[in-house]
Amino acid sequence: MSKRSKSSSNLLEVKNIKHYFPITKGVILRKNIGTVKAVDGVSFEIKPKETFGLVGESGCGKSTLAKIILQSIKPDEGNIIFNGTDVTNLKGNSILPFRSQVSIVFQDPYSSLNPRMTVKRIVAEPLITHKLAEGGQKDKMVIDVMERVGLPRQMLDRYPHEFSGGQRQRIAIARALVLKPKLVVADEPVAALDVSVQAQILNLMKELQENLDLAYLIISHDLNVVKYMSDRIAVMYLGRIVELGSSSDVFYKSSHPYTKALLSSAPIPDPSLKVNRVILKGDVPSPSKVPSGCAFHTRCYMSKEICSSKDVSLTKVKDKQWSSCHFPEEV
Amino acid sequence: MIKLTKINSIFRVKDGSELQLVIRSIRKSRISILGIIIVAILILMGLFGPLLVSNTPYEMDIDDRLATPSLEAPFGKDEFGRDIFTRVLYGLRISLTVGIVVVSISGTIGVFLGLVAGYYGGISDSLIMRLTDIILAFPGLVLALAVAAAIGPNIINVMLILSFTWWTSYARIVRGEVLSIREEDYVTAAKVMGVKDWTVTFRHVLPNVIGPIVVFATLQMSYAILAEASLSFLGVGLRPPEPSLGVIINGGKEFLRVAPHVSALSGFVIMLLVLGFNLLGDGLRDSLDPKMRRI
Amino acid sequence: MTNPLLKINDLKTYFHTYNGIVKAVDGVTFELGKGQTLGIVGESGCGKSVTSRSILRLIESPGKIESGSIHYKDSNLLTLSESEMNSIRGKEISLIFQDPLTSLNPVMKVGDQISEAIGLHFDMSKQETQEKAKKMLDLVGIPSSEERYYDYPFTFSGGMRQRLVIASALSCDPSILIADEPTTNLDVTTQAQILDLLSDLKSRLGMSIILITHNLGVVAWLCEYVAVMYAGRIVEYGPVKEIFKNPQHPYTSALMECLITSDTSSQVDSIPGMIPDLINPPSGCRFHPRCNHAFDRCLSDDPRLFTYDKKRDYACWLKE
């Protein structure tokens, strides 16, 4: 990645993260027979109040990367720098300030809330954990954040199973915001919701971003959702970022064939539109057997000889757009 | 139904809570209700029965040996002329005490070890699981017999032996549940929030594991009661003249042809106890399983 | 429609639960012509999956098909015996599900699973069923079908597994294929491959397809006709091109407004409120509590969809 003169202005810096999972054979004497390259050298930054979208299909490593960013897993290589502090090697109490500033919203509203706790207790948990408020003040903060997400205080004494998917997702968002974090990681925030409710939640998230100065990392396989929410987008394939740029550049001036294929694969609710579809051949290769050269060449519609032999990393295509293709101009 | 609603209001269960759903489900299950009734009656008898009878379980009346049941002695008299009904009441108390103690101790040990093994994995998991394997390799009653022969046959030893070998099932059940629960999003949410591991285990994982534990505990009550009765019957648990239900049966076994009521009635009470707890356990299992609950 | 292949009239499937009777499908009427692809689209709880299972009488207690008729060729499927239905399932009408992982038997070779289906319905030798199964593998685009016949499902990716499921479903040359959310669990690029395959098979084999989905984009890709379902009823029905260009029912148009497409730059709409309780649905028109155009008749009278004479219709009082 290019050098940044004002690196201290970044809220989050992901620096060359690598995470491999060994594949072992045998029960007693374990032999290493391969590696799953879940994340293979990923770098990007998120600025304050920005929405950064991470797009990719299954096996691309976005979930693992999210866990690393949240410091739920420690990466094999690389650093995560939050607000100027390197949190990669922090543990125990020293990482608590980071945890109060970064929160998560999960995909499945049915499993992200403890079924045996009341809504009030669920939303208050961050306050209790960080010992930031007690008694009346704690209650007030909980009521406050619940109102922000559009849920009346009468709901506080109820249990998660009494609510619909959309309402549960609001509760999850309330929990993520009660400590007024700087960054919220949203992992497929609306994938499990009905169409008519998806927009409700996304609009809510946008509104909250305005009012609370939040930055979002939105992870999704749904390009339209990512484009609707994000300022900048990174496209991942087999553990690497293959394209990075502003939303409109990535969508309208894609510089990587995979991005183009993704965009054209999405079904469009307009039967009169004749789409020039790029249907990729074959399956996504296993992350344990990453193809030589450019990892995408086995399915690429414009691959040339050099693509199977020479590897390529993310290089600048033009101002604020990067691609890892040998021939970005031809896309 | 009215009785149950009153009890409900006494305990003031939060509307909509999981507990309320469970209670509602139990109310609809005839098996559970039957089990609850049987167990409740037997517990009441065991608790208050001995206070209400006028004689003691040791009073002998040699002239009236093996008397058949009558109005003054509803269960008749045993081979020493002791009132069997009184003895059975005291015996119930013993059985229930043993059951509760064993279930409590083994439950505590087992749940704790199961939580540690399931949540932390790694070496602690391997160690604990190998320990359970070793213990499970021994046939329960044989082990109890051997230990009783070594350290002396009395009720405390019986309870200790059972408690320290029966925790294994809890550990296994809990470990299995923990393995699946720890992958749930709400557990990850807590960790990402900064909740310490130990707190996550007790605050998030344990409450969601309670279901199978409760079911197993009720079933284990019946095993414990049977075990105590068997050991006492064999002479390595309580011994005569203690009024353990097993001792009573043992006492009457020589007179099965002439006076079957001595062993039979006591045996019948054991059967009721076991049946009651089993029905309760089965009913609870269905009520606690969200898929079976049919809300 | 003249001589439709499938004619469903006033189908009602209710679930008798402890809390009450859930009217999952409450009077559904539609037709399917030969070689036609019909999309049934709706959100969760609208009854689309239950409808598809009702066609093949795969409803189990506490569910029950209460009334209505399902005419296929010359018979009413609801009056057939179980053994007669067994000769319909898989042979005349096939069904594929959302999750290819659980649709395949993990301990049986994939080729055998397909030839088993063939052997059930046709009187062929083992050799012949195997040959046909291999041809099916080719048809759905599984490379090296000769060798792959003998592999187990876990050696295939999600997209490949869905192809296997399709192969199995088509192995007995059914007239109708019912696909219940066939691509929902798949990645976008894999979904495109499967939709492309279905499109190709459609034109090659000339079969009719009922496609159940919540994704309007998928409907636009594959279907000629669409039925929009809400709360157990069909609220709008017609040719895809017309419905998308000019939705008439307020729910359909509201749904289209909610869609987040790549062109959406400004605020996207959402439909206020929640999907109604099917035990106690709202009085009159079921959509009225969430409808911007509701007026007094909507609260009292229930607008019912027509009979299948018209090519396009919707169940709303605004029509009149």
Residue B290's pLDDT is what? 61
Chain C residue with Cα closest to B293 = C18
Q: How many helices (H) and strands (E) does chain A have?
A: 10, 12
Among C288, C298, C317, C229, residue whose Cα is nearest residue C23: C229
Interface residue C61 vs chain B (CB under 8 A): no
Chain C residue with Cα closest to A199 = C270
Residue B197's pLDDT is what? 86
Is there a contact between C222 and C284 (Cβ–Cβ < 8 Å)? no
Residue A2's pLDDT is what? 42
| Helix B261-288, helix B30-52: angle, nearest 10 | 140
pLDDT mean over C41-64: 90
Is there a contact between A172 and A187 (Cβ–Cβ < 8 Å)? no
The H or E element spanning position C254 is: helix C250-258
The tens digit of pLDDT for each residue in A230-243 reads: 999 999 999 999 99
Among C303, C293, C99, C280, residue whose Cα is nearest residue C181: C99
SS3 state of residue C149 = coil
- CA gap B115, B182 in Å, rounded: 10
CB atoms within 10 A of CB C256: 17
Range with the poorest average pLDDT among A286-300, B56-70, B211-225, C37-51? B56-70
Interface residue A279 vs chain C (CB under 8 A): yes
Structure tokens at B188: 């990850």
Chains touching chain B through at least 3 C-beta pairs below 8 angstroms are A, C
The tens digit of pLDDT for each residue in A45-54 reads: 999 999 999 9
Chain A positions in Cβ-Cβ contact with residue C215 (cut-off 8 Å): 267
Chain C positions in Cβ-Cβ contact with residue A191 (cut-off 8 Å): none
Residue B11's pLDDT is what? 42
Is there a contact between A38 and A61 (Cβ–Cβ < 8 Å)? yes
Chain A residue with Cα closest to C159 = A283
Range with the poorest average pLDDT among A302-306, B105-109, B212-216, B285-289? B285-289
Range with the poorest average pLDDT among A156-170, B62-76, B163-177, B201-215? B62-76
- For residue A311, pLDDT over 60 is answered with yes
Cβ–Cβ of C19/B295 closer than 8 Å?
A: yes
Taking CB atoms and an 8 Å cut-off, how many pairs form between chains A and C? Answer: 118
Given the cut 0.85, state whether the ipTM is greater than it.
no
The tens digit of pLDDT for each residue in A98-133 reads: 999 999 999 998 889 998 889 999 999 999 999 888
Interface residue C200 vs chain A (CB under 8 A): no
Interface residue B28 vs chain C (CB under 8 A): yes
CB atoms within 10 A of CB C21: 15
Identify residue C279 by its one-letter amino acid code: I
- CA gap C320, C305 in Å, rounded: 13
Residues 7-46, chain C: which have Cβ within 8 Å of B?
17-19
Is there a contact between C173 and C132 (Cβ–Cβ < 8 Å)? no
Percent of chain B at pLDDT > 90 equals: 19
Q: Residue B200 forms beta bridges with which residues?
A: none
Cβ–Cβ of B18/A175 closer than 8 Å?
A: no
Interface residue B295 vs chain C (CB under 8 A): yes
- CA gap B80, C25 in Å, rounded: 73
CA angle C253, C254, C257 (to 5 degrees): 90
pLDDT mean over C122-128: 89
DSSP assignment string, B16-74: TSHHHHHHHHHHH-HHHHHHHHHHHHHHHHHHHHHHH-SS-TT---GGGTTPPP-SSST
A interface toward B at CB cutoff 8 Å? Answer: 70, 72, 95-96, 99-100, 102-104, 106-108, 111-116, 118, 125-126, 129-130, 157-159, 162, 172, 175
Alpha carbon separation from C118 to B40, B249, C141 (Å, rounded): 59, 65, 19
pLDDT band at B8 (very low <50, low <70, confident <90, very high): very low
Tokens 């049987």 found at:
B38
- CA gap C26, C233 in Å, rounded: 6
SS3 state of residue B99 = helix
- For residue C107, pLDDT over 50 is answered with yes
Q: How far is CA B254 from the centre of its chain?
A: 29
The tens digit of pLDDT for each residue in B32-46 reads: 888 889 999 999 888
- CA gap C142, C129 in Å, rounded: 18
| Mean pLDDT over each residue of chain A, to the nearest integer | 87
Phi/psi at C14 (nearest 5 deg)? Answer: -115, 150
Phi/psi at C165 (nearest 5 deg)? Answer: -60, -40
Residue A281's pLDDT is what? 80
**A153: left (phi > 0), else alpha (psi -120 to 50), else beta?**
alpha
The tens digit of pLDDT for each residue in A175-194 reads: 999 999 999 999 999 988 88
- CA gap A202, C69 in Å, rounded: 42
Residue A4's pLDDT is what? 44
CB atoms within 10 A of CB C180: 20
Is there a contact between B182 and B118 (Cβ–Cβ < 8 Å)? yes
- For residue C212, pLDDT over 70 is answered with yes
Pick B294 or C102 by higher pLDDT: C102
CA angle C283, C288, C294 (to 5 degrees): 125
pTM above the 0.90 mark?
A: no
Mutate to test the interface with B, among C15, C16, C17, C18 (most CBs of B within 10 A): C18
Exposure string over C205-226, b if 16+ CB within 10 A, otherwise e: eebbbbbbbbbbbbbbbbbbbb
Contacts 24+ apart (CB under 8 A), B249-258: B251/B78, B251/B79, B251/B80, B252/B78, B252/B79, B254/B79, B255/B66, B255/B79, B258/B66
**A263: left (phi > 0), else alpha (psi -120 to 50), else beta?**
alpha
Structure tokens at C214: 């919540």
SS3 state of residue B258 = coil
**B185 closest CB neighbour out of A111, A159, A162:** A111
Establish how many alpha carbons lie within 13 A of residue B113's alpha carbon, considering only the half-sphere containing its beta carbon: 24
Chains touching chain A through at least 3 C-beta pairs below 8 angstroms are B, C
Pick B283 or A18 by higher pLDDT: A18
Residue B105's pLDDT is what? 94
Peptide linkage before A271 cis (omega within 30 of 0): no
Chain A positions in Cβ-Cβ contact with residue B25 (cut-off 8 Å): none
The full length of chain C comes to 320
Q: How far is CA A189 from the centre of its chain?
A: 10
Residue C101's pLDDT is what? 80
Chain B positions in Cβ-Cβ contact with residue C18 (cut-off 8 Å): 28, 294-295
**B208 closest CB neighbour out of A95, A116, A158:** A116
Structure tokens at C176: 């109708």
Chain C positions in Cβ-Cβ contact with residue B295 (cut-off 8 Å): 17-19
